[in-house]
Amino acid sequence: MILTERLKFWWNCSRAFALPVTVMSWLVVFIYAIVEGGDILKGIIALVGVSFAHLATNIFDDYNDYNILKKDESFLKSAQICKCKFITDGLVSHKGMLVAGLVCLFIAILIGALLVFLSGAGVIYVALLAGIFVVFYSKFTLIGLGEFAVGITYGPLLFEGVYYSMTGSFSKELLLLSVAVCMFVIAFLYTHTVLDYDGDLCSHKKTLACSFKNKDESLKALAAFYLIGYSAITVFAIKSGMYILFSAFLTLPLVFKLYETMKVFNRDKTFVPEIFWWNYPLGNWEHIVDEGTQSFYLRLYLARNINTYFTMLVCLSFLLEKFL
């Protein structure tokens, strides 16, 4: 029971609720590679490695955020209640977060080494570049390049890395598809930074959202990310002749819903919108209610789910195109 509780604690501490974003991005290239004759087991091994790299990124991000916030009491007061919550509540030490991040990174490195042995040296190049973004992601966010780092990691690096692991070769045809998918991942991340706008601005964290003169203006970038994503999947569908991919546009009403509810949040961050089916699953909800961060997480969960639904429709399109 103690082990179960500890695992649950670190699951929440590492913000594992965002793992569906990684899993769904992986699933797109996984299915694409299977259709091309890729090795299923190697693809699953790659997922484990990518997931631990994602968790390491989240933990390092909180660790470095706290380095900034602890410099001034006003920084902590202006930040979202949930920001670095496990450290500020004394549930884990600052050093403990660093150790946890290093453990996750070490596991990801071990899995990468296994894939080099199983698939070839090409994995090394992808893993080295991805490792830079994992370790220094929080540094990129400080200079407004967090979205760029995520775009490269969840786009070309993830897609080419998984595809190479499964097939032993790279694919230039994947690049356009990776752009479509990673734009939805970026939109999820960017939603988080808009929600954190006030705290990041106060602590002089130069995120892309904070580069706009106000929070409503920052939403233009959110709209742009989705526009690029839908445009990329449109071009890919036309070039590949897979017009069934246009089913991904079924997510568009939820994008409008997210934009609308983000505008409300910008005016009143305490307003908790009504919960609908598109907000589920509500991970760790009882704890979220206790700390009063429902308003924050409901919007973040919606952005996460838009990404999930989009990638599910893309995956389903590949399967239907292949087997029907």
Neighbour count for residue 77 (Cβ, 10 Å): 10
> Tell me, what's the pLDDT at 164?
95
Average pLDDT over residues 22-47: 93
What is the percent of the chain with per-residue pLDDT over 70, rounded to a whole number? 84
Residue 75's pLDDT band (boundaries 50, 70, 90)?
Answer: very low
pLDDT, one tens digit per residue, over 219-261 is 999 999 999 999 999 999 999 999 999 999 999 999 999 999 9
Q: What angle do CA 107, 129, 183 make, to 5 degrees?
A: 100
Domain that holds residue 291: 2-323
> Tell me, what's the pLDDT at 182?
93
Q: Which of 232, 253, 234 is nearest to 243 (CA)?
A: 234
Q: How many domains does the chain have?
A: 1
CA 2 vs. chain centroid, Å, equals 29
Query: Which domain CATH number covers 139?
Result: 1.10.600
DSSP helix/strand/coil, 153: helix
Residue 263's pLDDT band (boundaries 50, 70, 90)?
Answer: very high
44 vs 5: which has the higher pLDDT: 44
Q: Which of 6, 80, 253, 49 is nearest to 164 (CA)?
A: 49
> Tell me, what's the pLDDT at 301?
92
Structure tokens at 9: 């604690």
In terms of pTM, does the model score above 0.75? yes
DSSP helix/strand/coil, 15: coil
61 vs 22: which has the higher pLDDT: 22
> Tell me, what's the pLDDT at 1?
43
pLDDT, one tens digit per residue, over 140-162 is 877 778 788 888 888 899 999 99
